[in-house]
Structure 1
Amino acid sequence: MITNSTQVSYFILSAYFDTGMLKYLYFTIILCLYVLIILSNVFLIVLICVNRSLHEPMYLFLCSLFVNELFGSTGLFPFLLFQLLKDLHTVLVSLCFLQIFCVYSYGCREFTTLAVMSYDRYLAICHPLQYHTLMTSTKMSVLITLMWCFPFLVMAVGISLSSPLHLCGNIINNVYCNNYSIKLSCSDAKVISIYGLINVFISMCVPVMLIVYTYMRILKVCFSGSKQTRHKAVSTCTPHLASLINFVFGCVFDIISSRLDMNHVPHTLRIFLSVHFLICQPIFNPLVYGLKMSKIRNTCNNLRSGKHHELNRRAKVQ
């Protein structure tokens, strides 16, 4: 523990505990989860890219969401796997800043993407006849560009504000680098605190409010519309809402734990909840969208049946 105000060169991740030989079991489980995330998200990205029938705004936004899952999980899993095998859980300041940049830009982008997807569903369900006029390819490209550039800009500003702070400690009570500066700073952290609150409002509250508004409009149309309209809304909006609820839960806990004392929460539970939005969301999204989105499910079935017919044809020829 560093007691004097200084510019530290490394941080200690104190949430890790000695597991003995069990660390190899944990390493294997985490590695399997990471491989599952890569395979499932890459499969759906390739599926959307190579099938022209899925070259619609809704599925291209989904493709961007899956790419973001790969980005966020890669910001955590290799680091986590490396730390599991280490006996001394330290990390250089520069690498810590890099992980903070990746993890929090991932979170910001997740909310932004979900908000854009809800807006797209609002146009498709509430304005079906004008949908292709309102959601043009140019507009879609601009939205995707903003979805990726805005979080990078927000986090670049945040890191530039927090990096000059002098710290009274170098212990982060987590298994990955998070927003440590407010708790560890010896100097005045009022600016970064205000910026953090503004960032949370813009990156989390504004997208959630937009999603709530669009779904209120969608529900209004569903109650007054036909059975076909209600079925379309349920089939396309249920995965989106499930994804949002799952992600909000994980982010709210991370925000609370970074600002309040969470020592009363059991250690293992605290670790799991701290990585919930980085582990569960990249697994949850491919699963729920792959199973619930009928067009993606039908495309997978067509590919599988096509391969089956091709194998039968080759068998007959031989």
Structure 2
Amino acid sequence: MDAEFNGTFITFGGYVDVDKYGYIYFVIFLTIYILILCSNCTIICLIWIHRNLHEPMYIFIAALSLNSLLFSSGIYPKLCIDVLSEKQTISHSACMFQYFVVHSLGGSDFLLLSAMAYDRYVSICKPLQYPTIMGKRTVIVLLTLAWFIPAVELAVAALMNSKEKMCNFTADGVWCNNSVHKLHCVKSQFFTVFVLFATITIGVAPVIFVIFTYIKIFIVAYHSCGEVRKKATETCLPHLIVLICFTCFTVFDVMTDRLQSDLPKSVILVTTLQVVVYSPLLNPIIYGVKMKEISKHIKKLFCQVKPMK
């Protein structure tokens, strides 16, 4: 019976004193999840309602917020259930689905940020051609590619993962991240090469593209008038902050996965969770504060909410 159970379910071994602090974990996870839902839904609704925000830049921001909602919904409900359960387990098929959802949306974020960088490049460096280049069709194509490419690559990766024979059924983390690769009896060389290819296409390449694009933008802005420099600062800085934060958290998560055997369990727990806490929570805050038009509508929204007398 135990062998059959272990062969069907994966146990999360990354929790620290879950029996003792289970309710505290639950309150923290639920609070963070509610904040993520409220903040990202606010950004999406504001962009949806106000016609002056129906521009490519804001549409990409709304897509990022939608990703954050789906990304968080793929993790937090399971976390809340696990911390109140006697055993923190997940079926192998559900684990592969979570792996697919979380990592494909993470790759989509990188591609959306590169699409936003291209939008800013055209807006600042080719302003007269902007309406022609960044038309409705271009936005639809960029959005489709940003969701489709990671989904296909991660679907293949998850399928290959599910076919691998497992010799270990206890994952080091608290959700199905890259640590599930360590559960296999033998690492497939083809799978390793495919994961490297996927990492380059939906992770490394978009980051390089964004860096190259923003270098060109700042060069053009530096040699232009003050209004162009102001526009570049106001619209590009939030994207750069989001990119830097998300890239650092992702790299840190990968490095933690590589060094797990040398780190205390509490450190592993904190570093595993930070990638699913900071990015979904910080993105709407950064855009809500730094993007002038969104910030203006948020202030109006809160001003309309009159205090009870």
Instruction: Note whether the superposition's TM-score is higher than 0.5.
Output: yes
Deviation at 1:273?
Answer: 1.5
1:265 is matched with: 263
Distance 1:19 1:181 in 2: 21
**Residue 213 of structure 2: SS of its match in structure 1?**
helix
Deviation at 1:175?
Answer: 0.6
| Contact map agreement 1:167 1:181 (CA 8 A) in 2 | no
Output aligned runs, 1:287-298, within 5 Å. 287-298=285-296
| Contact map agreement 2:16 2:269 (CA 8 A) in 1 | no
Identity of aligned residues (%): 34
1:159 is matched with: 158
Distance 1:202 1:19 in 2: 38
Deviation at 1:265?
Answer: 2.4
| Contact map agreement 2:18 2:83 (CA 8 A) in 1 | no
Sort the Cα spacing of 1:232 and 1:151 in 2 relative to 1 into closer, same or farther, 3 A: same
Q: Are 1:119 and 2:118 counterparts?
A: yes
| Contact map agreement 1:182 1:189 (CA 8 A) in 2 | no
Distance 1:181 1:195 in 2: 16
Unmatched runs of 5 consecutive residues or more in structure 2 = none
Deviation at 1:182?
Answer: 3.6
Distance 2:299 2:22 in 1: 39
Distance 1:167 1:159 in 2: 14
Bigger fraction of residues in helix:
2
Moved over 6 A (4+): none
Q: Could you tell me which of 270, 282, 285 is aligned with 2:283?
A: 285
**Residue 10 of structure 2: SS of its match in structure 1?**
strand
Distance 1:140 1:212 in 2: 21
Deviation at 1:261?
Answer: 3.5
> Aligned letter for 1:150?
I
1:128 is matched with: 127
Output aligned runs, 1:103-114, within 5 Å. 103-114=102-113
Distance 1:31 1:21 in 2: 18
Sort the Cα spacing of 1:91 and 1:307 in 2 relative to 1 into closer, same or farther, 3 A: closer
2:74 is matched with: 75
1:314 is matched with: none
1:315 is matched with: none
Q: Are 1:17 and 2:16 counterparts?
A: yes
| Contact map agreement 1:165 1:181 (CA 8 A) in 2 | no
| TM-score (norm. length: structure 1) | 0.91
| TM-score (norm. length: structure 2) | 0.93
> Aligned letter for 1:268?
S
1:221 is matched with: 220
Unmatched runs of 5 consecutive residues or more in structure 1 = 312-318
